[in-house]
Amino acid sequence: ALLDLSGVHQVKGTWMASTTLPCTYVPLEGFTQQTLVWSVERDHSTSALFRRDDSGDHVLLAQFRGRVSVPKQSPGDASLLIDSLEIPDSGHYTCQVIWRSQNNSLVQKEVTTTVKVVKVPVTKPIIRPGELGLRVPAGARASLTCVASGSPPISYRWFRSSLGGSAELLGSQAELAWDSLQPSDAGEYYCEAENR
């Protein structure tokens, strides 16, 4: 058995969302992970952005502070999680792991992933009814939830069609809820989703 890192060649990340850059190996008896370094190459210069060694975890680049982490409790998982992706986060990311063997020799492996951060327009929303569905007895609690995907933040608006074709704005949350439905609440509702 040999120590080897597995990752992926390319990751498409959604602007303002989070993404994981996989870097995993099967732990081998007699080999201890000594250091893990994630580095990023952008504009022809390479810098280390994350380092894990005996002294703990260190985020070395200011623009990643508070936004990157590596799983702590799962041996063999050195994947990098990046939150709130920015467009300048696009680049080539290299995961480098060094193991020490029982006879004190070092083994080093690395794997590189290209990250492309893209802005994703909001999708056409879908409406999910609550547990009781769309035919609800009077007096019951009910809700409608507007669901869309795309680059966050996504804002929602609920409308109700009224006579004469005009629309009444009911709220700006993803969920529209009623504590006690009345016959007068019957009608046509629609939601709108929007992002930047």
Q: Is the Cα torsion angle 61, 65, 70, 73 positive or negative in sign? A: positive
Helix (H) or strand (E) holding 168, with range, is strand 167-171
- Residue range 2-25, pLDDT digits in tens: 789 999 999 999 898 999 999 999
Q: What is the DSSP letter of 43?
A: T
pLDDT recorded at residue 150: 87
- Residue range 82-109, pLDDT digits in tens: 999 999 999 999 999 999 999 999 999 9
- Residue range 102-158, pLDDT digits in tens: 999 999 999 999 999 999 899 999 999 998 899 999 999 999 999 999 888 899 999
pLDDT band at 1 (very low <50, low <70, confident <90, very high): low
pLDDT recorded at residue 97: 97
pLDDT recorded at residue 122: 93
Residue 40 confidence (pLDDT) above 60: yes
The answer to whether 10 touches 73, Cβ cutoff 8 Å, is no
List the domains of the chain with CATH numbers: 5-118 (2.60.40.10), 126-195 (2.60.40.10)
Question: What is the CB neighbour count within 10 angstroms for residue 13?
Answer: 21
Q: Under DSSP, is residue 193 helix (H, G, I), strand (E, B) or coil?
A: strand
Strands 155-161 and 189-194: antiparallel
pLDDT recorded at residue 138: 94
Residue 163 confidence (pLDDT) above 80: no
pLDDT band at 66 (very low <50, low <70, confident <90, very high): very high
pLDDT band at 78 (very low <50, low <70, confident <90, very high): very high
pLDDT recorded at residue 43: 84
| DSSP letters spanning 93-162 | EEEEEEEEETTS-EEEEEEEEEEEEE--PPPPPEEEE-TT-SS--TT--EEEEEE--SSSP-EEEEEEE-
Taking the C-alpha atoms of residue 151 and residue 4, their distance in angstroms, rounded to an integer, is: 34
